[in-house]
């Protein structure tokens, strides 16, 4: 059995984008976030949703009521935003989110999606702007996708 399934595809997508930047390599984690290019193509629309959430919170703020985010179906995003509504950010929020990812039972694209969500929650909490958020989230889609998206944004801005 091959340890990474379709190894070239895997290295082309996930490894280049995320794990290449890691000093701390771990095979268990690599296996957990393994997913195909097709699966990763579902990430950009989700990142768009996260950007919208970030924009809304930046302009409207968070109303710390009991039913806040009750309509949010993504449980990870909902819980993360609840933590933000309590004034949490920085190192401590990062610790909680990374523990949730560490014990997560999900695998593949669902787990990768949780990683993207956690990164977005942290960025929102730390008051980072849309560009910073995007620079942090796009690499999860693979280096090719990130470069394409950044080039597209740059040309749109130039227009």
Partner 1 sequence: MLIERLAQMYVHWGSPGKTGEPTKRKRDQAVAAVHQFLDVIESTAEDRKALFTQSQQSRRKATKLAYLLLAGETEPTAIHDTFLRSGLLSEGQRSNKPEVLLWFAGTEAIARGIHPYIAFLIMSSYFGLETAETEFRWLQERAGASGVKLEEYIVPGDLTDSIEEALKEPARLQRTIRIAGMPLSASAFAGCSVYYIEKILALVGPIGALILTQMIQSARKNLVSDEIGTAQQAFLDLFTQEETESTTSEREAGAAEEAFFEEPKLPDPELIHTTTSLVMEADAKILKATLSSMSNGEITLLLRCLDAIAHERLLNLISPGRQKRVLAVIQKTENATSEQMLRDAQLFAQKLLAAYAPKNLKPGETLGIPEKLRGLISYLLSRE
**In the complex, which residues of this chain contact partner 1 (CB under 8 A)?**
18-19, 21-26, 28-29, 57-62, 64, 66, 68, 75-76, 78-79, 82-92, 94-105, 115, 118-119, 122, 125-127, 129-132, 135-136, 139-140, 150, 153-154, 157-158
Closest CA to 55 of 117, 130, 155: 130
Nearest distance from C-beta of residue 126 to partner 1, angstroms: 7
94 Cβ contact partners less than 8 Å away, ≥ 6 residues apart: 122
Nearest distance from C-beta of residue 134 to partner 1, angstroms: 9
For the record, the structure tokens of 68 come out as 């806040």
Closer to partner 1 by Cβ: residue 42 or 98:
98
Nearest distance from C-beta of residue 155 to partner 1, angstroms: 10
Nearest distance from C-beta of residue 53 to partner 1, angstroms: 13
Residue with tokens 């960025």: 123
Nearest distance from C-beta of residue 94 to partner 1, angstroms: 6
Closer to partner 1 by Cβ: residue 2 or 24:
24
Closer to partner 1 by Cβ: residue 49 or 78:
78
Closer to partner 1 by Cβ: residue 5 or 90:
90
Closer to partner 1 by Cβ: residue 9 or 149:
149
């Amino acid at each position: 059995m091959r340890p990474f399934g379709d190894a070239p595809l895997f290295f082309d997508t996930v490894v280049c984008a995320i794990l290449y930047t890691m000093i701390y390599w771990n095979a268990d984690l690599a296996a957990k976030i393994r997913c195909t290019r097709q699966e990763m193509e579902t990430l950009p629309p989700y990142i768009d949703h996260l950007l919208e959430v970030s924009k809304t919170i930046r302009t409207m703020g968070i109303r710390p009521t009991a039913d806040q985010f009750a309509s949010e179906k993504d449980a990870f995003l909902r819980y993360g935003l609840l933590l933000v509504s309590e004034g949490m950010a920085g190192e401590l929020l990062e610790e909680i989110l990374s523990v949730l990812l560490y014990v997560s039972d999900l695998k593949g694209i669902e787990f990768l999606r949780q990683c993207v969500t956690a990164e977005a929650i942290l960025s929102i909490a730390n008051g980072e702007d849309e560009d910073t958020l995007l620079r942090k989230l796009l690499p999860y889609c693979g280096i090719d996708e990130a470069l394409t998206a950044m080039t597209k944004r740059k040309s749109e801005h130039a227009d």
